[in-house]
Structure 1
């Protein structure tokens, strides 16, 4: 984002500082904090009489606003036996309030062209939305109503519904995922049962079952008052008008009970606690967690630097000793810090081909720490960390949302919104001696929680026998007679039931872009923007995985991985070290139709970054040891994916849609058999044949001129290569009847469901575009019919959606959801009911208005960041779109009618042509699925075998 209020940003000696900043006149009711020596993000801060802290940040570079309401309450404020309340309330806050109807918060923001969400962690809950600038008053009306007038709308039905939704979320994210319970088990072993970090934020299902609606209301009344909240507003705002609106909507809400700041509660361990978790996994995992300090403790920064040296990327010791040595498939170190306590985490996924058990992996980690002791901290170690901080700071300021989130978080926990300069100062002050001191104090020979996650029935692979016993939870008795909590009628000076009108629609200009021919065959599109001193650049080569040799799916993917490894002049670690010291990144990937190279850099470091790009692109080393390690890693990853329900479902979807004779039916990384067949010579041959400029294109977004970008990429003119063609597809499978393809996942607590049919490839203004418009009220928004039915009405799922997905040559329609095991067949039937009714009746006039507003007003959010600008350019480039395609889309939307959209629905939504894919527990699903009266085929995506079950 543009820092127009701050004149310009100066980078000196690795430290960010402001050259100048706007000064605001002080008034009695506000305290302003913007100064050149202490602030990076300009803001105004003041407090209402009821205790609500308000922070305003003005940035008029894009016609949008981001609003964040942060409450200083997370799961750490919960009581034993009532875990999950903070997260539960995150859900309840979207269920309507006294003057806002059920589900209207999502509808109003979506219809306004915005997006929204909420999040909860141990220490805070926040609700945020980004909208066009003319919608700000509407957002403040919504936020104030759920702060001051929520309880009258909280009903037993809503409580029960959201309780089921939260259970579904836990099942999907924790219980039905490989390794999903590791954080819960680590927390229980690391902290005593009374410590608020001893349970994870989503809580325990048994706790959700034992509480009632009045418990929840009491939690809200205790913690959700304005005096425990921070309202942060940033973007294209009028400061004085915004203050008037804030006073109008929030000033009349009374303060809640006084809230004391929590005291840090770091813990210590009297012995190392070994814990073993048997799970449905392929790769054994070792996680070592040591207690340290708490957020912003003087030792936090040195510990962060230590974690980066040990396990932060390819220049780290964990990469050298564990990953590159082939002992681990992945390994890393982190130091997550929270308000009450921090944890030093060392984690590694064992490579079963070279590591017998986790005891051996544990010894390898201990040897790595010993090596660090002997080696010490180098100048490059510190340079990498500090460059990373500078780069992440600048990139974090590219969006209003990023700046607002930072201001809100700092104010909530530290009472000071802008700590950017302070954070940079304290990390720059870290010395090698500081790092070694904290290593000796907190890590060397320290007690830890050592968690071994091993495949079911293989506890012998654990690092050591379990010596820690998880105590039975000592729960207070549930109180079914909890007194009802009623909110008193609040006096209000205006009619809150009237939603504010939006202001004039902001004028959104499509970014001006330039076009250059960098070399024969290479076209570059670029946008020059002065908002941040950064460069975002991508190089795309068309073909990608579609160019894989027959029987060797994964060649393009492995080639891209190899391009991220050693070059002729740099070892892997040396190259990673040079990039990290610049705060830059260069990554190669192959996915779908393209092989891509993605580059990010601070503008001041773009010249050496592009020199490293030239080295990586033109002089890969293709060393056998790198190839062997990466091939083994890919194969182990593919075996692990066979344990993940969502991955199995996507593989089944692709095979059902496109058959086993087409490359697109298999993962980008290939299959176990195909990867096994790939040789290093295949990789070299793929590189020499397909890494060439004949089908290459470049996108660049930066503060550099067109000429500067062309000069920087002049080395591409030396790129040579022959033309190549992309193979045609083999015939796709045809189905005369509808089937249920059941992939057995024994013990799965949920069923991953897809309903699919081949459909249209992408177009910007034709049938595909109209099909996507038609689908929006059916399954394309949170308030869509399918999601409201399955999630809000039935409680069968955490979320459900439908979509048309189209690429350059292929497309399909899908409905996807994770359903409770007991309601899998019911959920499928409800989806069909919704589709059939929609085909018959079409969308309503209200839904058409919702669609038009959501689509046409969202332009304000489409071009804000360098990333969003680059996506716009890539779409123009990939599909050869006209400059005004967006205007044409708006014209279509304004003129399309209900009859035409109903015709599109009848043509494109054919339930009888949709194949159903279910990944779940066959033993409990077979009987209920038979009630659908469709042929059931047991389908193995690993062996691609099919067997009829009826």
Structure 2
């Protein structure tokens, strides 16, 4: 690593407040020497305080732009929670020179993707685009940094407030255990501590906030001197600097921002707290306060969490999951800027009391004290962390995010070498020291989440109430803030055009076929020293069509293949893999069983030896079978508590029909899994695991000539004939009906609307063209459906539609989670948008947007090893020609409005669809009945309930939605 530091005079950097800026000079430049783990960059500071970090990476024709503001929920105060996250939403609602709802549209039509995120300590906004669109991204980000507030209207404010409430409903209130974090935070940290509430905030705070409060929050924190602009990709640092000075240089400096200082939480006793939730499994969570991120003790505490409950080698897994006392048990150590917490979480089976669970946790800690820390523990931990750090460098966005975080929190973008060093330096003594310092004999918050009507199972009665004593509201300096717009010497309202089109790099690939029929496809990717392999063994859950009474067997077989083999216990296998920094994971899905392999290139031989062991020598031990079968049955039972799962299961049953295996979840049913024996699993493996139906994708830092000799062990795999069932899938729907499933007291309703198509997947035919037609209906963020339900009405956090076929035809589905009170209105709006699109088709402007957006997005599709692997997987699975992407581009360029209109008319049969709604029947049924469709009530398994049909007047017409 070579590091050059240039110190700027204080007069240049720190005193030119709101004055004309001069040419910014280089502060620091870091380059890589050899293959050391370093992210090269140049760092600048503009006179207004904006920090610019530029990383050049010319491997792909893309650029990633990230603006990180050092403001999160930790800058909020009592009674005004959720401001930072709320403002994240407002920053997408237009500014002086960017019209309402244009931000997403501009980036998307430029072939890019974008989003924002908020956590306790920072808010960031980011775009990934083709590299010729860099100037447009900078223009957009600068406009909302310097020209936002006049565009913040009361109407936008109200719509985004509704959207944030919907987000809370979807991700917290309507999700099992969704409020656990909120309950821990308010009881772990003192009243008023900036971590004592979640980033999403409280509903009552969102209700009381007004638009002026929000504007003041922006003026206090969203200024260039509290921001880091990080840009990486196929760019030139000098060009980036010039554009940054042009668009950001005139934005005035804001109020000074200092680091928040708060005392660490001190607990005078174990705090027992609890709440009721609509869950099957109770939850016990024990949380100890620890240290902030980058603290010297963070790394050994991370190691402690890994040893206690980080995987299948951990003590928690052994004592709870393997002992069949819990469906899940783990430990983690999330640390953020002001504090950390060591959390131990157990989900025991429904028949367990939480006092016995707590007692076993404490016995497990005592076992750890006696056992101590082993050399293997440290070797596994350090190898795994090194692999994770390397994997984080696989994309430009990953490198940019890392640079931005290091600069924001440490003022040092070049912290990665130190990050690796501090994790490699962890010793056995360090881990025992932090255990004794932060856990042994220390007090914790002990949270019980208990199923409805079962408060008696809590670990102990609640013994703690939050006290407001001693709280003093902070003075964040909101008084006297003024909005001063930049003064420019150029016309900012002119949207920059793109630069020269970059050269698209579709991965060049090689193919091969082993003598036993196994097909191989691969490409070299030397950006990081890793190899990704994806085995796809065809059949999966579809093979249960041969014996539907044993549905779920593919998932159970895959789970058993992740356990012990004939030569190694599961613990021995995981020890070997983790010491290599590798992973081998086997999972079943509807159409295949996938084996995913990740390895550092230097450890590929050792990793493949373990792949061979797992693939060809599974032990299928009776004790593993009984445990995994029990877990699968419990998880099936648990699905009845999750609205999203309930909706998907019922919808699939209605779409495919009960005689189609696709109407049964991959996990199977209680009845079918109970019927599976260990001999059934062995027979399934013996009959259906064959190289003749297996594809292998290889992407990584290795040549074809070097990797093929390493695969000779696969030649021993004997081929056998396997026929994957192709059940008839065309199920006719005679008329549109509403199917209602009750989810008592649900904060939101889950809606699925659609039908089963007659189109299998194709890359260049009708299916591909139909996907183009759907893009403006429900495929893009600024599609008609999403703009209506989310941005215009505030009914949902997000709504979409799409076609999803594979080798056999799949469904068209429009879907959303919506606030309960707007359930019937949302159904009307969905139908209205589909009806209008079917009748009137696409507009010329929309068609131009589709062509612009999808015509450039390929630049983003092949960057990482995993992206390349999925691309090649599709090529080999569907036997696509090498130039299929060129054929798609030609189709896209030539498709006409008349063609899109004809597709929309043909593919949106409004009168022959299934409408599935899962929600609080007491609240939503009357409104749904007024829509005029036949209404059929189903139970949570998707079966009709006796005497449930309601028929009313003619269906509501498009546009008749009620507020």
Counterpart of 1:370 in structure 2 is: 366
Offset of residue 149 of structure 1 = 0.4
SS of residue matched to 1:347: strand
Counterpart of 1:949 in structure 2 is: 949
Counterpart of 1:632 in structure 2 is: 630
Gap change, CA 1:265 and 1:806, over 3 Å in 2: farther
| Structure 1 contact 603–703 (Cα < 8 Å) conserved | yes
- The aligned runs of 1:228-627 (5 Å cut-off) are 228-352=226-350, 356-470=352-466, 487-548=483-544, 549-627=547-625
**Bigger shift: residues 213-222 or 358-367:** 358-367
In 2, Cα distance between equivalents of 1:490 and 1:124? 24
| Structure 1 contact 394–532 (Cα < 8 Å) conserved | yes
Gap change, CA 1:414 and 1:940, over 3 Å in 2: same
Offset of residue 23 of structure 1 = 6.9
SS of residue matched to 1:537: strand
- The aligned runs of 1:171-182 (5 Å cut-off) are 171-182=169-180
Counterpart of 2:158 in structure 1 is: 160
Counterpart of 2:903 in structure 1 is: 904
SS of residue matched to 1:34: strand
Offset of residue 734 of structure 1 = 2.8
SS of residue matched to 2:30: coil
In 2, Cα distance between equivalents of 1:47 and 1:798? 37
Residue from 633, 651, 664 that aligns with 1:653 = 651
SS of residue matched to 1:329: strand
| Structure 1 contact 689–721 (Cα < 8 Å) conserved | no
In 1, Cα distance between equivalents of 2:149 and 2:264? 35
| Structure 2 contact 936–944 (Cα < 8 Å) conserved | no
Question: Are residues 1:729 and 2:719 paired?
Answer: no
Question: Are residues 1:920 and 2:919 paired?
Answer: yes
In 1, Cα distance between equivalents of 2:281 and 2:485? 57
Offset of residue 49 of structure 1 = 0.2
Gap change, CA 1:943 and 1:792, over 3 Å in 2: closer
In 2, Cα distance between equivalents of 1:844 and 1:662? 39
SS of residue matched to 1:774: helix
CA shift digits 1:548-584 (9 cap, x unpaired)? 2221110001000000000011111111111000000
| Structure 1 contact 132–860 (Cα < 8 Å) conserved | yes
Residue from 217, 220, 234 that aligns with 1:219 = 217
Question: Are residues 1:935 and 2:934 paired?
Answer: yes
Gap change, CA 1:35 and 1:64, over 3 Å in 2: closer
| Structure 1 contact 294–300 (Cα < 8 Å) conserved | yes
Residue from 193, 200, 203 that aligns with 1:202 = 200
SS of residue matched to 1:363: helix
In 1, Cα distance between equivalents of 2:659 and 2:468? 54
Counterpart of 2:66 in structure 1 is: 68
| Structure 1 contact 214–483 (Cα < 8 Å) conserved | no
SS of residue matched to 2:549: coil
Gap change, CA 1:854 and 1:943, over 3 Å in 2: closer
Counterpart of 1:10 in structure 2 is: none
Offset of residue 730 of structure 1 = 4.9
| Structure 1 contact 410–418 (Cα < 8 Å) conserved | yes
| Structure 2 contact 820–924 (Cα < 8 Å) conserved | yes
Offset of residue 182 of structure 1 = 0.4
| Structure 2 contact 252–484 (Cα < 8 Å) conserved | no
In 2, Cα distance between equivalents of 1:775 and 1:560? 35
Offset of residue 489 of structure 1 = 3.9
| Structure 1 contact 266–294 (Cα < 8 Å) conserved | no
Counterpart of 1:776 in structure 2 is: 775
Offset of residue 393 of structure 1 = 1.4
Offset of residue 434 of structure 1 = 1.0
CA shift digits 1:629-656 (9 cap, x unpaired)? 1111111111111100000000011001
SS of residue matched to 1:913: coil
**Bigger shift: residues 704-713 or 902-911:** 704-713
In 1, Cα distance between equivalents of 2:7 and 2:842? 53
Offset of residue 254 of structure 1 = 0.4
In 1, Cα distance between equivalents of 2:924 and 2:255? 50
- Structure 1 unmatched ranges of 5 or more: 1-17
CA shift digits 1:564-615 (9 cap, x unpaired)? 0000111111111110000000011110211111000000000000000001
CA shift digits 1:127-154 (9 cap, x unpaired)? 0110000000000000000000000101
Offset of residue 733 of structure 1 = 4.1
In 2, Cα distance between equivalents of 1:228 and 1:291? 28
Question: Are residues 1:792 and 2:791 paired?
Answer: yes
Gap change, CA 1:108 and 1:762, over 3 Å in 2: same
Gap change, CA 1:879 and 1:185, over 3 Å in 2: same
**Bigger shift: residues 542-551 or 369-378:** 542-551
CA shift digits 1:175-204 (9 cap, x unpaired)? 111111000000011011110100000000
Cα RMSD of the aligned pairs, angstroms, is: 1.8
Question: Are residues 1:678 and 2:671 paired?
Answer: no
| Structure 1 contact 152–487 (Cα < 8 Å) conserved | no
Gap change, CA 1:470 and 1:642, over 3 Å in 2: farther
Offset of residue 284 of structure 1 = 0.8
Gap change, CA 1:566 and 1:366, over 3 Å in 2: same
Counterpart of 1:865 in structure 2 is: 864
In 2, Cα distance between equivalents of 1:301 and 1:394? 17
**Bigger shift: residues 464-473 or 74-83:** 464-473
Offset of residue 691 of structure 1 = 1.1
Offset of residue 940 of structure 1 = 1.9
- The aligned runs of 1:836-855 (5 Å cut-off) are 836-855=835-854
Counterpart of 2:823 in structure 1 is: 824
Output the TM-score relative to the length of structure 1: 0.95
In 2, Cα distance between equivalents of 1:322 and 1:241? 57
| Structure 1 contact 311–318 (Cα < 8 Å) conserved | yes
In 2, Cα distance between equivalents of 1:815 and 1:848? 21
Counterpart of 1:805 in structure 2 is: 804
In 1, Cα distance between equivalents of 2:7 and 2:470? 54
Output the TM-score relative to the length of structure 2: 0.94
SS of residue matched to 1:910: coil
| Structure 2 contact 6–27 (Cα < 8 Å) conserved | no
Counterpart of 1:13 in structure 2 is: none
SS of residue matched to 2:87: helix
